[in-house]
């Protein structure tokens, strides 16, 4: 007595799902880079907030989400961008840096 072979499993069934990248981690990295290059506080502070949120979500997901490195990089770049903006604002306000603007005097 012979039996027919079982049908193949449907696609995607069985095994484990590949971890999905956390979108807040991606945006944290993007905003950290933009903040470092041109926007300072405007992009640096959201990069810090999103980086922290992404790190917490990734840790709580139990392996279902990835992107912890991107979240950490975005957090660090956001901190650096914010620090550079604050320091340059202080230097500009005290007159130590003038950015080369000619006032016509």
pTM of the model: 0.78
Q: How confident is the model at residue 22 (pLDDT cuts 50, 70, 90)?
A: very high
Distance CA 67, CA 27 (A): 11
pLDDT at 12: 61
Query: Structure tokens of 34?
Result: 């933009």
Taking CA atoms, 1 is separated from 4, 7, 51, 55, in Å, by: 10, 19, 62, 58
Q: What is the pLDDT of residues 30-53, one digit of tens each?
A: 999 999 999 999 999 999 999 999
């Amino acid at each position: 007595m012979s039996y027919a072979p079982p049908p193949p499993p449907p696609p995607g069934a069985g095994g484990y799902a590949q971890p999905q990248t956390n979108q807040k981690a991606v945006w944290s990295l993007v905003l950290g880079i933009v903040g470092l290059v041109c926007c300072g506080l405007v992009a640096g502070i959201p990069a810090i907030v999103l980086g922290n949120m992404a790190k917490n979500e990734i840790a709580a997901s139990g392996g279902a989400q990835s992107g912890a490195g991107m979240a950490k990089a975005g957090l660090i770049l956001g901190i650096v961008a914010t620090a550079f903006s604050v320091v340059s604002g202080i230097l500009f306000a005290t007159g130590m840096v003038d950015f080369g603007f000619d006032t016509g005097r």
